[in-house]
Chain A
Amino acid sequence: MDVLSLDIMVAALRLAMPIALVALGETFSERSGIINIGVEGTALAGALIGATVAFFSGSSVVGLCAALGVGMLLGLIHAVWCVYLRADHVVTGAAINLLVIGLALFLTRVVWGWRGTSAAVPTLNPWILVWGMVGLIVLAQVYLFRTPWGLRLRVVGEHPQAADTAGINVFRTRVAYSVLNGALCGLAGAFLVNNLGRFSVGMVGGRGFIGIAAMVVGNYRPIPAFLAAYLFGFVDALQMRLQDVIPSHFSIMLPYVLTVVVLAGFLGRAHVPAALGKPYIKDQG
């Protein structure tokens, strides 16, 4: 078996895309100070609603827009919970994950009568999406580090008091980037549906969490995070080919094991935004 064939490199790019999108969204969100482990559920919601709407409208583009919409809605809920209600970020994300799994099982039964899967839905050429997203990631890198808006975003995550003093609205900035994170996760879900041609409740399968890991490995920077996501995509592509050699149970484990190993080796060196996960309370005095 030729491991480094062009074939596998190309397949890896396609498999890496949902992970890269989550990693990019989470980069924006965490740079502004909000941890969102609800990315797993948000991607699943994007897949679920994207597939449902594509099924009924007959148009994959309309489905894609619906996936974006539901992602933004969940990003907004997460932000309102974390920013205004001062709920714990991780716990809120976990709640979103649980809610979406319930909704996915319920809605598939209501719409298609099967528990957890949909009928075939229309798809579009994934390569339009892939190259669009590669462009998006490069743009994001420039935006974060070469524009005043990117600087403002980073200040909000590092030192919200300073940002507030400088006239930046900390609350609104966090809400906005959380919504952007939701949109990108919803898109990741729509991409998964586009890859498979149908919805399945297990289709995200931890890729949201792997996306967070890719962000950490990429040290909260879009292009390095994308490269990390590509590594995970490559292992995913590899494991599919390994299934003839070793029991599939073990090959499926590979991306998960890799995530743990990579996180263990990297996190100590990552630069974490200073105000990450902490609610900002405006000084009333």
Chain B
Amino acid sequence: MKLLKELGIIVVSVALGLGVGAIITAATGYSVPAVFRELVRGAFSDMYRVAQTLTQATPILFTSLSFLIAFRAGLFNIGAEGQLFLGGFFAAWAGFTLSLPPVLHIVVCLFFGAAAGAVWGFIPGWLRARRGANEFVTTMMLSYVAIYLTSWLVSPGGPYHGHQWANQTARILSTAELPRMITGTQLSWGIVVGGLVALLLWYFLFRMPRGYELRAVGQNPLAAEYGGVDVAPTQILAMVLAGALAGLGGASEILGTHRRFIEGFSPGYGWDGIAGGLIARAHPIGAVFAALLMGALRAGGSAIDRAGVAPSDLAAVFQGLVILFVVAPELIRYLKRVRRRRRVHGRPEP
């Protein structure tokens, strides 16, 4: 029952966001039915497009998990984008430098990506827990640092500039490639890794004592402290995990989709993770569905552009509106109250 109620709120919030999105679409002179038709068609109409939606959803799943694990501990990881870039670079580095047997190589590369992200989560986590520095500012700042750093590594003059005309590294060895799930598409087994990680995270948060402690710190740090939880190490752990998850997302994207580190390879998957984590109401299993929704918006967005119906960035506007409504569950309760009051007073419904 509680689950149904939560789901109802999310569905209404998404509908409200898309509704306001439709108004903006009409106001800027585009055809609302055409936009929504192409959005759905571009995301789901055939196997290739479904694969494209899933491909886009994969990194978003990881960054959604990254956002929500920090959020569960009462912290805000706004810097998943930078952690994703660092994770992607170090996975690629391990991919073209080390030579290992096939499956092991992939695991090692994923580990390198997660570790790089974890370091980038540890710094703001430590600064927050030990020095009181707002993690929403420091994660954002460190995100810029990571993006410029990886960009320098592959730019002309940088140590890993692997191509004459594009800022990217050399290709990873074939042993490090995450294989494609469907040939002819970009969809890799990264999405399965993501699903497994989501399950693991659910188990950690809701079935393990450390996960319970982490949630307790998020609910009320003082009460948790009184109950015997070490708040500072728990906060640091949450940020390290958040960084590792985003780093893993970058690694899976590089090993599965691009097979080399490319400057600016993420069109904003880190930011999508904030939206995904919020739409999922910080639940790891919910994040799978939220990531699918975000992935569909990205895939459908490119489709409305290709079809010449409207610019692809209209989908980003929809995303922003959806989460603006998702973060205010009280709005729906408020609208309901107003309706009930009207009914009681016998006034006609609007």
Contacts and interface: CB of A to CB of B under 8 A. Distances in A.
Interface of A: 37, 40, 77, 81, 84-88, 90-92, 94-96, 98-103, 105-106, 109-110, 115, 205-206, 209-210, 212-213, 216, 247, 249-250, 252-253, 256-257, 259-260, 263-265, 267-268
B52 interface: no
A249 B151 contact: yes
Given A206-B141, A212-B134, A213-B141, 4 more contacts: A91-B76, A99-B324, A264-B138, A268-B132
For chain B, what secondary structure do more than half of its interface residues adopt (helix, strand, loop), or is it mixed? helix
Nearest to A92: B327
Contacts of A90: 76, 136
A252 B151 CA distance: 12
A45 B327 CA distance: 20
B226 interface: no
Given A95-B323, A268-B131, A256 B317 contact: no
B240 interface: no
A209 B330 contact: no
Interface string B301-314: 00000000001011
Interface in B118-177: 123-124, 127, 131-134, 136-138, 140-142, 144-145, 148-149, 151-152, 155, 157-158
Interface of B: 28, 76, 78, 123-124, 127, 131-134, 136-138, 140-142, 144-145, 148-149, 151-152, 155, 157-158, 268, 271, 274-275, 278, 311, 313-321, 323-324, 326-331, 334
Contacts of A259: 137-138, 141
A253 B152 CA distance: 11
Contact of A95 (B132, B142, B327): B327
Contacts of B328: 81, 85, 87, 92
B316 A263 contact: no
Closest 5 CB pairs of A and B: A99-B320, A102-B316, A249-B152, A105-B313, A109-B311
Contacts of B155: 249
A115 B274 contact: no
A125 B178 CA distance: 56
Contacts of A206: 140-141, 144
Contacts of B315: 102
B127 A264 contact: yes
A249 B141 contact: no
For chain A, what secondary structure do more than half of its interface residues adopt (helix, strand, loop), or is it mixed? helix
Chain B CB within 10 A, most for which of A90, A110, A259, A263? A263
B136 A37 contact: yes
Contact of B320 (A40, A103, A115, A268): A103
23 contacts: A37-B78, A40-B140, A81-B327, A85-B330, A88-B327, A94-B136, A95-B320, A95-B324, A95-B326, A98-B271, A98-B274, A98-B323, A102-B318, A103-B320, A106-B311, A110-B311, A210-B141, A216-B134, A253-B149, A256-B142, A260-B124, A260-B133, A264-B127
Contacts of A247: 152, 157-158
Contact of B317 (A86, A103, A205, A210): A103
A106 B334 contact: no
Contacts of A260: 123-124, 127, 133, 138, 141-142
Nearest to A216: B134
Contacts of A253: 144-145, 148-149
Given A90-B136, A95-B278, A260-B142, A106 B324 contact: no
Contact of A256 (B133, B141, B316): B141
B144 A256 contact: yes
Contacts of B134: 212-213, 216, 263, 267
